Chain A
Amino acid sequence: MQYLLMIHSDEAAMQQARKEDIQGIMAAYGAYTQAMKEAGAYLGGERLHPSSNATVVRAQNGKTSVLNGPYAEIKEQLGGYYLIEAADLDAAIGWAARCPGAQFGAIEVRPIWPM
């Protein structure tokens, strides 16, 4: 099965973090991504710019609206994702638990709906 691991984190805390800490986290992400690739679990993944760079678009009732900012103003914002292949939910949870982001925020694990 395929799962999306959505990494939610506190953006303010990340922005205030010391440079060496950030480097440590990036190194951890690099190793984590590599481990997923070697296990054949990695299908894709990206880091996102902070939600202050987000734009929300709606096109309803014939009118398009474009709004500045993230979809929901919450403390922990989506900061990145991995798309993985895993045998079952427990295997996906195993990867989510190892994600460096799980240490600081929350990883939401969602099964992909095959079309």
Chain B
Amino acid sequence: MNDGGEAARTATRVARESYGKLVAFLAAPGRDVPGAEDALSEAFASALENWPTRGVPDNPEGWLVVAARRRMLDVARRRRGAEAASDALAMIGGELDDAAASEGPIPDRRLALMFACAHPAIDEAIRAPLMLQTILGLDAAAIASAFLVSPAAMGQRLARAKAKIKLAGIPFRIPETDELAERLGAVLEAIYAAFAHGWAEAFADDPRGRNLAEEALWLGRVVVALAPEEPEALGLLALMLYADSRRAARRDSSGSYVPLSEQSPALWSEGAIAEAEAALRIAGAKRRPGRFQLEAAIQSAHAARRQTGVTDWPAIATLYDALFALTGSPVVAVNRAVAVANAHSAAAGLRLLESAGAAGRLEGYQSFWAAKADLQARVRDAGAADSYRRAIGLESDAATRAFLLGRLSATEAEIASKSYL
């Protein structure tokens, strides 16, 4: 007989490792994500009731599937009347032998569910939150805070997207080869968006101990495990691992922001870097370059500083040229200008940055103003102070804001001493 503690631990472990797999399996036949989520949460609740007294079953996943299926069937019966119950039975996957379900392994349809979440018919802004909820079981409030919207609004948008999956008939399916690359791109974009949103709050205290960046890394590993032949999936995983390797170096002992160029490589995680390098090598061997592989290669060049002691800016600038040619992204244009400034001259970088900003799409982008301020200060242009103020006004992270305020007052002091133009 198991004690309650072990039952609870098993339930928690299964919830963490199998949640998305069970949702995908239960939701796939009727494309009913909310129904699967509700049934699964009731199944977990009854597991916590039953397992401490009756013991943890040999196949906890199978047990949960059987319990959740019964819930879904009950709901369908109540909703549609007894005569429609046979339809309902077909909708939730046919009259399965419950005993068999509780013994066999549950097929892993998480990738298919991710493709449904990142379907072109789903609003791009909700794809990442949708994946975080359906695959990882994060609640709307936790996702909302990272995406800077109210929990009520996030809950509503998630509900609307799930309704669309069901009503518009969005399939749980891995696309055919001819459209796989494009559709996988949308899945990877959504994972990266989750990572980026989590990254900003990586230092916030999360009582649940679950950080969105870690969850996105987990999703990245799932995609690589399920689609090992896709170099861009490996590229994204490598990119996230490089960023993750610098987690400890991003703040000093007093909690202040430390820019990449001033970080001590000794604080970078060797394990994460080694895993990233390995993923990037496998991706490169497939000879199908792409956006995420290029971004990871740039991070790999930064990581090389831990061995060489210097940053190879000309190499990084060349990689940014390629990335900019591929994406045309204004955000990439900013980073490219900074790389050129470091590789060649601040004036050359500033010219590139100003031409990138000329289109007006970067006015509200903090990094543009921070980069511009830095380059203006390097060419001793008094406009640097104004640019720092723009950057500070757009920053939401307190530590980064404090860093920029420090740079602003140093710049103002230098302007006052008349060393500027």
Chain A residues engaging chain B, CB cutoff 8 angstroms: 1, 3, 86-90, 92-93, 109, 111, 113
A69 to chain B, nearest CB (A): 31
Q: Is B170 an interface residue (CB 8 A)?
A: yes
Interface of A is mostly: mixed
How many A-B contacts at CB < 8 Å in the complex?
26
A45–B168 CA distance with the chains assembled, in angstroms:
20
Listed in ascending order, the chain B residues whose CB lies under 8 Å from chain A are 119, 121, 167-171, 173, 175
| B173 contacts across to A, CB distance below 8 A | 88, 90
Extra contacts, 6 of them, besides A88-B169, A93-B121 (Cβ < 8 A), are A3-B169, A86-B169, A88-B170, A90-B170, A90-B175, A111-B169
Q: How many angstroms from the CA of A92 to the CA of B119 in the assembled complex?
A: 14
State how many angstroms separate the Cβ of A89 from the closest Cβ of chain B.
Answer: 4
Do the beta carbons of A88 and B171 come within 8 Å of each other? yes
In angstroms, how far is the closest chain A Cβ from the Cβ of B75?
Answer: 19
Minimum Cβ distance to chain A for residue B173 (Å): 7
| B175 / chain A contacts, CB cutoff of 8 Å | 90
A-B contact pairs, 12 of them (CB 8 A): A87-B171, A88-B169, A88-B170, A89-B121, A89-B169, A89-B170, A89-B171, A90-B170, A90-B173, A90-B175, A92-B169, A93-B121
Distance of B169 from chain A, by nearest CB (Å): 4
A90 to B171, CA, bound (A): 7
The distance from the CB of A86 to the nearest CB of chain B, in whole angstroms, is: 8
Please, which residues of chain A bring their CB within 8 A of the CB of B167? 111, 113
Min CB–CB distance A94 → chain B (angstroms): 10
Residues from chain B with Cβ under 8 Å of A1 in the complex = 169
CB distance from A87 to the nearest CB of B (A): 8
Ranked 4 nearest A-B pairs via Cβ: A88-B171, A89-B169, A88-B169, A1-B169
Please measure, in the bound complex, the distance between the C-alpha atom of A93 and the C-alpha atom of B121, giving whole angstroms.
10
CA distance A87 to B168 in the complex (A): 11
